[in-house]
Homo-oligomer: A and B are copies of this chain.
Amino acid sequence: MDWSIQEISKLAGTTSRTLRHYGDVGLLEPSRIGSNGYRYYDDGALVRLQRILLLRELGLGLPAINEALRHNSDSPGALRSHLQWLRQEEDRLARQIASVEETITRLEGGEQLMAENMFKGFDHTQHKDEVEERWGKDAYATSDRWWRSKSGAENEACQVEISQLSADWSTAAASGGTADSELAQSLARRQFDWLSGMPGLPASGGKLSKEYFVGLGEMYVADDRFGANYGGKADAEFVRDAMAVYAEKHL
């Protein structure tokens, strides 16, 4: 007892195109091929097809399905790892939804579509490649995880803090003071303190590493994103210099 390609496709609730595709990728071959080239499927193929479709509905990819069926159709191994992936996706989606909601809220509050960008460049996570090269992959990953793990409220508080700091730097730079002025140094200390609150950053003697702190200042100048969010390169240089002075004095 066998069926034509269209018959079996209807039996299983799919399309003939799908069956041809499964044949092409070696997932389900016809049990017989007529002299005219027609594909015919028997009930063994039907059972396999139904298993394939079941697994597909569960979200597995075709290669994974092939593996699962080839290895042992009744062992939950493939499903377990697939479940992990699904949970990760769920997490990712949840975070993305939270981000979108937050962004909408901020837009409604009259803020610009720049919010995180102001923050960008202030910590090292935006200089991924360079930071990985200089301080190792963990520094980036840890800090990034930390940032992403913050709740909406915490996140917002962070944003406010960094926005304030950012605005104060701008003001100070515009006021024409020097990098070793009291104002600039107090800002450098706030910046240091803020960075100290982030985990995974290079430290020495329990404090944020001097090398890292100075290097970050250099990045601000080298990487124009920072300057782009402020008054330009001059401001970035001002910040860098103030940080360098602070580092020499206190680190």
Contacts and interface: CB of A to CB of B under 8 A. Distances in A.
Interface of A: 3, 7, 10-13, 43, 46-47, 50-51, 53-55, 57-59, 73-76, 79-80, 82-83, 86-87, 89-90, 93-94, 96-97, 99-101, 103-104, 107-108, 112-118, 120, 126, 128-129, 223-225, 228-229
A53 B90 contact: no
A11 B54 contact: no
B100 A82 contact: yes
Contacts of A90: 90, 93-94, 97
Contacts of A99: 57-58
Q: Which 7 A-B pairs have the closest CB atoms?
A: A50-B115, A76-B104, A76-B107, A11-B225, A50-B117, A86-B97, A83-B100
Q: Is the interface of A mostly helix, strand, loop or mixed?
A: helix
Given A96-B59, A108-B76, A118 B83 contact: no
Chain B CB count within 10 A is highest, among A55, A76, A80, for A76
| Copies per complex of this chain | 2
